[in-house]
Structure 1
Amino acid sequence: MIGKLKGLVDSFGDDFALIDVGGVCYEIFCSSRTLQALPRVGEACVVFIETFVREDMIRLYGFATETEKAWFHLLMTVQGVGARVALGILSALSPAEISSAIALQDKAMVGRANGVGPKLAVRIVTELKGKVPAGPGIDAGTLGLQAALGEGRAAGNVSDAVSALTNLGYSSAQASAALARIVAQEGDTISTERLIRLGLRELSS
């Protein structure tokens, strides 16, 4: 079983890259985010690998980080989510954005990915609620706040501030992360108006 490849980027396709490892080129299928993260042709790279073996083929899926690979595994535990759909979600959303969408039950955000219709988006956020892995893309404090918001347990002022910031164009992941840092410093009894003001300052810094 191949777990990781270290080699040189040989070439790119629409949804795959060829990695030259000691003269043997491995074809790895990736999200667009991983393809964009890989270095230029001829440069050294490290790719985390998930190997799928079937009777008629062996296919390698590659990830820029172990966090992305973990999300690939988790997404595919949902009925109706195969490798192609999981890569589509990872192409459309960062790990932090997926965490936020699931914690906040934001099916519209998940539905932005190719291959994810309204029913599947609902199934994803419902079945993965409470199963979001922590990773370098999002800290424990942010996850805690997002979970509280998603379960309706967050203080009203915090919920209102998140809503106000998202209405101003920030993603729920950005708003939750900024407010998590503020609440950790100021406490959750801070007024909604001050939360919004400090949140905007945090997001613009």
Structure 2
Amino acid sequence: MIARLRGALAESAADHAVIDVGGVGYLVLASARTLTTLGPVGGDVLVFTEMQVREDAITLFAFGSAAERDGFRLLTSVQGVGGRVALSILSVLDPGELARAIAGGDKAMVARANGVGPKLAMRIVNELKDKMGGMAIGPGGGAPVAAAKGSAVSDALSALANLGFRPAEASAAVGAAVDDLGDGATLDALVRLALRKAAK
């Protein structure tokens, strides 16, 4: 599984980019939001990735933040939401706006995306409402990271809150720890690193 790529931006188009990593060009599909943050061709880029394997294709999706990748994973867990539809949604809603739309049951916000009709928007809001747990604010632009209830991120937020951190402080510290450690980090590792980040 490819979790992230660092290399030179070789090409950028309306819906994809090519990132040169050690002479190998990786074609990645990305939201308009991510593509605008990559900078000029030839520049150094770092993106988070998600790989989807189908019978007829292997597709690599790229994201400017772990928060956006987490939003993509949540969206594609909904029946009828493929990778391209999820990118379309993330092109018009950042992870924080997506979380607020789901929490508030605002299907009209979700339906602003190309290819998302009222029925699909309603399904997305209804299915994801229970999956949205604690929110962590990542350092990359203050975007919230969706954390499933009972997950290490959610538990880490709770642990810092119990230590007296304000929600915004806890969210920023845990978000920074998630960016450094990745999705598979243990609760212990997340809390230790988050405390170090908060102390800076």
Interval containing the TM-score (normalised by the shorter chain): 0.5 to 0.7
Partner of 1:29: 29
Question: Please, what TM-score do these two structures have when normalized by structure 2?
Answer: 0.67
1:49 Cα shift? 1.0
Partner of 2:85: 85
Partner of 1:145: none
**In structure 2, what is the Cα distance between the partners aligned to 1:58 and 1:16?**
15
Map 1:52-67 to 2 at 5 A: 52-67=52-67
Q: Which amino acid aligns with 1:80?
A: G
1:130 Cα shift? 2.9
1:135 Cα shift? 3.2
Root-mean-square deviation (Å): 1.9
1:138–1:63 distance in 2 versus 1, CA, 3 Å:
closer
Partner of 1:16: 16
Partner of 1:128: 128
Question: Please, what TM-score do these two structures have when normalized by structure 1?
Answer: 0.65
Map 1:34-49 to 2 at 5 A: 34-49=34-49
Give unmatched runs, 5+ long, in structure 2: 138-142, 147-166, 169-200
Map 1:111-126 to 2 at 5 A: 111-126=111-126
Q: Which amino acid aligns with 1:52?
A: Q
Q: Which amino acid aligns with 1:5?
A: L
**SS in structure 2 opposite 1:120?**
helix
**In structure 2, what is the Cα distance between the partners aligned to 1:34 and 1:3?**
16
Which structure has the greater CA radius of gyration? Answer: 1
**SS in structure 2 opposite 1:128?**
helix
Contact kept? 2:68, 2:145, Cα under 8 Å: no
Partner of 2:69: 69
Q: Which amino acid aligns with 1:39?
A: G
**In structure 1, what is the Cα distance between the partners aligned to 2:66 and 2:107?**
25
1:103 Cα shift? 0.8
Partner of 2:171: none
**In structure 2, what is the Cα distance between the partners aligned to 1:62 and 1:28?**
6
Partner of 2:5: 5
Partner of 1:165: none
1:139 Cα shift? 9.0
1:138 Cα shift? 4.0
Aligned residues: 142
**In structure 2, what is the Cα distance between the partners aligned to 1:79 and 1:2?**
24
**In structure 2, what is the Cα distance between the partners aligned to 1:120 and 1:105?**
13
**SS in structure 2 opposite 1:116?**
coil
1:78 Cα shift? 1.0
**In structure 1, what is the Cα distance between the partners aligned to 2:65 and 2:3?**
12
Is residue 51 from structure 1 mapped to residue 31 from structure 2 by the alignment?
no
1:53 Cα shift? 1.8
Give unmatched runs, 5+ long, in structure 1: 141-179, 182-205
**SS in structure 1 opposite 2:52?**
strand
1:119–1:64 distance in 2 versus 1, CA, 3 Å:
same
Q: Which amino acid aligns with 1:115?
A: G
Q: Which amino acid aligns with 2:113?
A: A
